[in-house]
Amino acid sequence: MIQKLTTEERATELAQLKGWQVVKDRDAIQRKLQFADFNEAFGFMTRVAIKAQEMDHHPEWFNVYNKVEITLSTHEANGLTARDIKLASFIDSITA
Amino acid sequence: MIQKLTTEERATELAQLKGWQVVKDRDAIQRKLQFADFNEAFGFMTRVAIKAQEMDHHPEWFNVYNKVEITLSTHEANGLTARDIKLASFIDSITA
């Protein structure tokens, strides 16, 4: 069973991510992204989907046209874990 | 400029769709779908994305794991138009 990040781990890990906000009232992080158009936004989502499937760790996300809002949290731990940081880092790496 | 559906058109067209609900406080329709898993849900989204791009008419949608919630409305008409019905019918046809 995967464990939630400790307070120290959260501080260290979150500081290394780009543009992620801690969600209010929930132990989760969110990032809002904007692309040139739908083609680019859905292309990004497809890259994340393939990575998520490989990791067996999936995002919650909303898309409208060129905008994508992604929320990450680990259901089985009821909060943020190393899996969320790993997926967030991947997302950061493909949106550099 | 595309026009909103008339009251008569709405009644006729909406009656032919499957499982779509009229959204409260907004001239839009929504359908909630559930799939076997993320692979199937995202496969469905990819088919809709390709169709949406072809139509130049895009959904607002939310996905978490095997669930997809799709909202359709036509931004430039500020409400439901024939484009929404066409995309909704396509969605119905691939989820039969």
pLDDT greater than 90 at residue B1: no
Residue with tokens 């390709």: B50
Q: Judge whether A75 lies within some domain.
A: yes
The total number of structural domains in chain A stands at: 1
Sequence-separated (6 or more) residues with CB below 8 Å from residue A77:
A1, A2, A3, A4
Q: Which of B39, B45, B51, B74 to mutate to test the interface with A (most CBs of A within 10 A)?
A: B45
Are A61 and B62 an interchain contact pair (Cβ–Cβ within 8 Å)? yes
pLDDT of residue B67: 98
Q: Is B55 on the interface with A (CB under 8 A)?
A: no
To the nearest whole Å, the CA of A56 is away from the closest chain B CA by: 9
Q: Is B90 on the interface with A (CB under 8 A)?
A: no
Q: Judge whether A2 lies within some domain.
A: no
- Per-residue pLDDT of chain A (96 residues), as tens digits, is 899 999 999 999 999 999 999 999 999 999 999 999 999 999 999 999 999 999 999 999 999 999 999 999 999 999 999 999 999 999 999 997
In chain A, which residues have their Cβ closer than 8 Å to the Cβ of B46?
Answer: 42, 46
Q: Judge whether A1 lies within some domain.
A: no
Q: Which of B60, B70, B71, B84 to mutate to test the interface with A (most CBs of A within 10 A)?
A: B60
Q: Is the confidence metric ipTM above 0.90 for this complex?
A: yes
pLDDT of residue A82: 97
pLDDT of residue A96: 78
Q: Judge whether A15 lies within some domain.
A: yes
Bridge partners (DSSP) listed for residue A27: none
Are A63 and B65 an interchain contact pair (Cβ–Cβ within 8 Å)? no
Q: Judge whether B1 lies within some domain.
A: no
Indicate which CATH number applies to the domain containing A68: 3.30.1360.20
In chain B, which residues have their Cβ closer than 8 Å to the Cβ of A52?
Answer: 38
Q: Which helix (H) or strand (E) holds B60?
A: strand B60-64
C-alpha of B15 from chain center: 14
pTM: 0.95
Q: Judge whether B74 lies within some domain.
A: yes
Q: Judge whether B2 lies within some domain.
A: no
**Which of A46, A52, A59 lies at the smallest CB-CB distance from B46?**
A46
Sequence-separated (6 or more) residues with CB below 8 Å from residue A4:
A27, A74, A77, A78, A79, A80, A81
In chain B, which residues have their Cβ closer than 8 Å to the Cβ of A59?
Answer: 64
DSSP state letter for A83 = H
pLDDT per position as a tens digit, A2-29? 999 999 999 999 999 999 999 999 999 9
pLDDT greater than 90 at residue B14: yes
- Domain, as residue range, for B17: 7-94
